[in-house]
Structure 1
């Protein structure tokens, strides 16, 4: 072969370096996060997550500020309301599940104020018996609130399955709800104003937590009182229905009605014609104001439970016990020796967590 000529039988391979764009793309996740080893960077900041097979990413905590709407996948809708929806979502990095509450913004003043109050309370509340808020966002005309996911659903869901809840479990449930109210009333100076079975959520660990602060009132001090008329009528206290000033003990009235409903399987105020129901909400409200207060039957329930309910549903709020006083009521500790396992009870009762199909 002459010098300077190529052998036609030899095939040459040319390897060109990748363009900068192609090379850089392999470090980007679908959500636009730059990921190189343990380092993750996006427009919301820097996060270091172990990628080793033996060590899972650490769970995100409410105060971490490390959540991003782009980094969560929607699993399914788990709740709907007049102002928006609640979705079950999963975080792409850690695999954690959250509840995403999406509220469509409106220029209507009352609705806007309610959303603002909910955001303020959610961001400030840090209590084991209040549903935790992780982060809130505004995007494309909607407020998105990432909340702790309670995989057992609500006590309203549970009651539909079990029909009635036995006293030992009621005491354990009530103790947790009271701790949440104690925190709201005495530490945060907040009246919930819409305490009802659907706003009490449960999880597989047997925890009971208060949620939904869209109609809550924030008071300036422990002696503060409110006079606005919002919330679910069924569980509303007589002083609120009558338009009088009210305080945190209006939540105690609601708690008493909720406990009676759990114990008996029916709402304490029943119309004369039960098959027909109340002709209007005003008839129900008149019954709450004018009829004798409801009570637990001494033939069916312990004296302690009857006394506890009575302490909650006194017509005069001055005669009701506070959350702090109720914590020392004999009913709260009468079943402690039984070591009640709410986790097992929720599961055995057919709580939604036992049959949850995520996919």
Structure 2
């Protein structure tokens, strides 16, 4: 049941206090599309707060739908400053909707489109935030994200970096019996996932390593032997599984950064560092205590969209 404007203003209700419906939300514009669904920027009609509303088409049995909605409600209890907050979830006309925290500076993908490359100090600050988010997912929630990529690392004007889509990649997939299937974006998949082997939390570390290397060198790390263009789907899968992993050029980056990347993208998962180990890596420690803030980088960029009044 939608809440009235008078009720919202007189009681200072928060969105978490009352179950939302589509009637409570004003659609502003589409801000993202993907295989998982469409994301729209919405405004609460009575409170005025902006949210990201993700709709996921779910043509499934009612019993499974109820299970998914229940598990998504449990995920609303997430307590990490490095995970995008899911305020609520609800079902409407065959679609599950997630009412998500709106990150007003878009994704890491939006940032690298503008700056092309990100300097090591900023990468260290960014990495630390993402690793703290992964540490929470892996050790507190026992969740493998399975789709770490630039567009799933969101940024706000405060310079905060947060992981999104973990509820979709883990809870929805496992609820539909897809835990060992090809869930995620293949570009950033770890070799063990592509080859069909069992995998664990370390698969997220591989993905993060590729993302950070991409931010540093300004292009996706896997390229054709001639050095230009893109690998085909099958060429890329073959390269990830059969070829040595990419590395940071030693003549362009610090030894600490090169070591960090190598620690993330080892072919053997047992040789990869965990999120907790990487948080103590010399590359992360090197910039701790310095007056570094991603807000400085973010404020210099154009926001991903203009929001109508």
Q: Secondary structure of 1:239's partner?
A: helix
> How many Å apart are 1:297 and its aligned residue?
1.2
- Of 171-180 and 90-99, the range deviating more from structure 2: 90-99
CA distance in 2, matches of 1:316, 1:209: 27
Preserved CA contact (<8 Å) 1:189 1:219: no
**Per chain length, whose mean CA-contact separation is higher, i.e. which structure has more relative contact order (CA < 8 Å, sep 6+)?**
2
CA distance in 2, matches of 1:150, 1:204: 8
- Between the two proteins, the alignment pairs up a number of residues equal to 302
> How many Å apart are 1:216 and its aligned residue?
2.3
**Corresponding residue number in structure 2 for 1:180:** 133
> How many Å apart are 1:273 and its aligned residue?
4.3
Preserved CA contact (<8 Å) 2:72 2:171: no
For residues 119-163 of structure 1, the C-alpha deviation after alignment (integer angstroms, 9 at most, x for no partner) is: 367434221100000111111221111100000000001100000
> Could you tell me which of 126, 134, 158 is aligned with 2:79?
126
Question: Taking structure 1 as reference, are residues 120 and 185 closer, same or farther at Cα in structure 2, changes over 3 Å only?
Answer: farther
Structure 1: which 5+ residue stretches go unaligned?
1-30, 41-46, 51-56, 221-225
- Of 210-219 and 193-202, the range deviating more from structure 2: 210-219
**Corresponding residue number in structure 2 for 1:49:** 10
For residues 255-306 of structure 1, the C-alpha deviation after alignment (integer angstroms, 9 at most, x for no partner) is: 1101100000111111224545223x12111101111111111111111111
The alignment yields a C-alpha RMSD, in angstroms, of: 2.9
> How many Å apart are 1:171 and its aligned residue?
0.4
Report the structure, 1 or 2, having the larger helix content: 2
Q: Secondary structure of 1:336's partner?
A: coil
Q: Which one has the largest radius of gyration? A: 1
Tell me if 1:144 matches 2:115: no
**Corresponding residue number in structure 1 for 2:197:** 244
Query: TM-score if structure 1 supplies the norm length?
Result: 0.76
Question: Taking structure 1 as reference, are residues 323 and 121 closer, same or farther at Cα in structure 2, changes over 3 Å only?
Answer: farther
Structure 2: which 5+ residue stretches go unaligned?
none
Tell me if 1:299 matches 2:262: no
Question: Taking structure 1 as reference, are residues 65 and 306 closer, same or farther at Cα in structure 2, changes over 3 Å only?
Answer: farther
Q: Runs of 4 or more off by more than 4 Å in structure 1?
A: 111-118, 217-220, 273-276
Tell me if 1:216 matches 2:176: no
**Corresponding residue number in structure 2 for 1:156:** 109
